[in-house]
Amino acid sequence: MNTIDNCKIINLPKIHDPRGNLSFVENGRPVPFVIKRVYWIYDVPGGEVRGGHAYQELQEFFIALSGSFDVVLFDGQNSKTVTLNRSYFGLLVPSMIWRRLENFSTNAVCLILASTLYSEADYLRDFNMFQRTKTKGPDDNN
Ligand code: TYD
């Protein structure tokens, strides 16, 4: 089972250039999964919160393309908050981690690289069920 220790900042290549810097990702480099989907969150009103769920299978990689925001992570026991505020690094969040995005700055753009196509069935939106699954494991019916 993944813990918050498996949620890692990964530096991206940065090509310095007086005309403007450039960063990039490719499948597996340095993001450690094949990218099946890309989505982005933007125009977030002050004080709003996104996320607030976990995924059974999906792995994600978050990049602050513009501005900043906090990713609050919880593994059923421990939590940590990671601030993303540069476009040359990102945060890897594996499956079965409860995550919430908050504290968006004005004009923040959050890019998310995802390891699967969209599947509502993969979401765990019930916090208590998530907690129970993390405590007992998915196959434990006792
Ligand atoms: P959701 O993941 O619940 O947003 P958040 O957790 O950031 O608050 O997605 C919000 C809505 O957008 C939901 O109705 C499903 C839809 N959606 C897609 O259709 N495709 C996608 O790739 C994503 C991420 C969401």
Q: Report the range of poorest mean pLDDT among 10-14, 25-29, 31-35, 77-81.
A: 25-29
- Spacing, Cα 15 to ligand 1 middle (Å): 32
Range 55-80 average pLDDT: 98
- Cα separation, 82 vs 105, in Å, equals 14
Q: Are the CB atoms for 68 and 82 separated by under 8 Å? A: no
**Which of 36, 39, 70, 72 has the most ligand 1 atoms within 8 A of CB, as the residue to mutate?**
39
> Given a cut of 80, is residue 120 above it in pLDDT?
yes
Burial class of 45 by CB neighbour count within 10 A (0 to 12, 13 to 18, 19+): exposed
pLDDT for the residue numbered 142: 42
Spacing, Cα 114 to ligand 1 middle (Å): 12
User: 16 an active-site residue?
Assistant: no
Residue 79 to residues 23, 62, 72, 99: CA-CA distances in angstroms? 29, 17, 7, 10
Residue nearest to atom 2 of ligand 1 (CA): 51
Provide the pairing of β-strand 14-15 with 22-23. antiparallel
Using only C-alpha atoms, the chain has a radius of gyration, in whole angstroms, of: 16
Under 8 Å between Cβ of 29 and 56 = no
Joined tokens for residue 1 = 């089972």
- Both tokens of 14, joined, read 């940065």
129 C-alpha to ligand 1 centroid (Å): 20
pLDDT attached to residue 83: 98
Is 55 touching ligand 1 by the criterion CB < 6 Å? no
User: Residue 141: its pLDDT value, please?
Assistant: 47
pTM of the model as a whole: 0.94
Average pLDDT of the segment spanning 109-117:
98
Mean pLDDT, residues 24-49: 96
Average per-residue pLDDT in the chain? 95
